[in-house]
Amino acid sequence: MLKKIGKKIIAKHSSQWLVLAIDVFTVLVTFTISYLISFNFQPDFEISNLFAQLILIGLIATLSFLIIGSHKGIIRHTGLKDANNIIIGVNIIATLLIIIVLFGKIYSFNQIFNIPVSIIYIHYLLNIVLLVSSRFIFKELYKYFIYDLKLTSNVLIYGAGNAGMITYEAIKNDVHNKYKVVGFLDDNTSKAGKNIDMVKVYNPDYVDEEFINKHNITEVIVSIQNVKSTKLIEIVDSFIVKSLKVKIVPPVNKWIDGDLQVGQIKQVRIEDLLGRKPIDINNPSIKKEIENKVILITGAAGSIGSEIARQVATYNYKHLILLDQAESPLYDLQQDFKRDKRKNFTVIIGDVRVGTKINQLFEEFKPDLVYHAAAYKHVPLMESNPYQAIKSNILGTINMTDLSIKHQVDKFVMISTDKAVNPTNVMGATKRVAELYITCSSKMNKASKTKFITTRFGNVLGSNGSVIPLFKKQIDTNGPLTVTHKEITRFFMTIPEACQLVLEAGAMGNGGEIYVFDMGESIKIFDLAVNMIQLSGYKYPDDIDIKIVGLRPGEKIYEELLGDGENTIKTHHNKIMIAKAKEIECGLIKPKIIDICDRLDTTSKIELVSKMKEIIPEYISNNSEYELLDTETVKTN
């Protein structure tokens, strides 16, 4: 056992002892050369004295280098600090020699201590030059044999500022990476033509086909912190058309222990082009809201529900109930929580549409806070199945709302959608009816403890069934990508950001508010499709084409976040606003909502849609199956 440990220690430190041995040997060689220089390369000195002095020099050099630890530096990472350590060591050697020589003269020591001062000075200078230069020579040789001789990709770094330099240093010092930086790119014309560590800075406009072929460039790494999405799109578009891969350096807060690792440099994703800022999980207002509370999340297996669960799980909650009817994704979420060693959570397969069972759940766990994310959301499917849309999105919300009041839940936060605004489809209409029911429940139950908050936002990137995963699948099968209309636009937000804002809105809500999130600029889906094709390394339309298939039933060209007669009130959060909704007659609307659910099993598909149009006059269907109902609804209203 001790033998094995000894071998490990020797193996671990063998390189350090080798460096020390080389340094001491160099000091001995420079001392010999100093003698020869001092005596004009004539052997007019006592050879035996030189050999004896070399033993002394070796001991002093070993002691000096051990004191300063210059042998512990990693040769391939040699820098100014290593050079400084060597200079300190050389000064220690020279100082000790001068002290020994002075004492030798004063006390008439042995002749071997009588070293001429001129030799000590020459030795000092030679040591500095040879020891320091040898370090950098070994570093360059290491780079040449390990780095330059292996297969590499020639890359350009876009950004010659601090972030660009950090990226360059990370690439240069990582011997296992496959990059070779052949130039920097920067929009600042004053930097163009200059060199950074012998690497030239170019204006991006200078990079044409001839330049790319001459330098055999394959990739561009964008290293600009807080780059605007519009600028990033411009950069990506300019290089992708030249058949160059574009990669991006992550934000500083995602660097490992504050240091950038080459492995973190990734291919630009479509999410990077949409300009959504990273979220801050450590939020004091959310912490105060969630701490020591029993929390129920419906639709917990879905894209939004599962992310809300993961974010809530980072806080000190009392108990977390994860409710969904989807068995497989709920099981996956349960395994994620177990793997992350989450405690005090219960996974329940249940259906918000079954009030008696949900009531039992409330009685057992007594939740303080409810996040209601359970809903059917796919527009074309719900257009053909209004019964299921109403049962899940309206009846499910009624059950959760009424039971929250009955069991004195502190807060009820509903996840709505921008499709509820001036709806043109069944799904959006059901969500708007659900919003109205919650609003009426808030207004008509003022004595209730429960505060009702509604959050309304647009599409989330990467959610189940959203356009981006669809495009990815279509790209994997070589296309074509299907877009319903060339001018169709949508708002986009990342799932983590949307859920963060849901939690923040829930924390700031006092009851009765409809919170609208700042979704940024709307994105043209056709442009999104083109970008995704190019980011995947294909050319549009040569490699993969885009097919316009026409608007689906109930689909809008443009989405809205505010309905007719609505405007917004600012909050202290710059991305969260309150929709100042027009007044509604709850005494008339709420009974109609209850009636549509009571008669659900005996009502035809057309009648169900007709009843929703009576509740929501602004619901104008794009579906030819329901278009005739619009004129009838206008007449009755």
Q: Which residues are catalytic?
A: 419
Backbone angles phi, psi at 266, to 5 degrees: -120, 160
In order of 157, 213, 239, 576, the CA distances from 244 in angstroms are: 13, 11, 6, 39
DSSP strand E in 143-260: where?
153-158, 179-185, 195-196, 199-202, 217-222, 245-248
Single-letter code of the amino acid located at 584: I
CA pair distance 65, 354, nearest whole angstrom: 78
The tokens for 572 are 């202290």
Grouping H, G, I as helix, E, B as strand and the rest as coil, residue 219 is: strand
The DSSP H or E segment spanning 32 is helix 2-38
CA pair distance 181, 220, nearest whole angstrom: 10
CA pair distance 202, 183, nearest whole angstrom: 7
Residues 407 and 366: beta-carbon distance below 8 Å: yes
- Our measurement of the distance from residue 259's CA atom to the centroid of its chain's CA atoms, rounded to an integer in Å, reads 15
Measured N-to-C along each axis, helices 355-365 and 396-406 cross at an angle, to the nearest 10 degrees, of: 30
The DSSP H or E segment spanning 133 is helix 117-142
In order of 159, 166, 236, 267, 519, the CA distances from 248 in angstroms are: 11, 13, 10, 6, 23
The tokens for 37 are 């220089």
3-state secondary structure 547-595: EECCCCCCCCCCCCCCCCCCEEEECCCCCEEEEECCCCCHHHHHHHHHH
Single-letter code of the amino acid located at 449: K
Structure letter (DSSP) for residue 147 = I
The burial of 572, by beta-carbon neighbours within 10 Å (0-12 exposed, 13-18 middle, 19 or more buried), is given as exposed
Q: Which of 426, 437, 365, 341 is nearest to 398 (CA)?
A: 437
* C-alpha torsion angle, residues 131, 134, 135, 140 (rounded to 10): 170
DSSP strand E in 416-520: where?
451-456, 459-461, 481-483, 489-490, 492-494, 513-517
Q: Point out which residues pair with 298 in neighbouring strands.
A: 323, 372
C-alpha radius of gyration, the chain, whole number: 36
CA pair distance 118, 115, nearest whole angstrom: 9
Measured N-to-C along each axis, helices 586-598 and 605-615 cross at an angle, to the nearest 10 degrees, of: 170
In order of 138, 452, 515, the CA distances from 566 in angstroms are: 71, 19, 12
Q: Which of 103, 37, 27, 101 is nearest to 64 (CA)?
A: 27
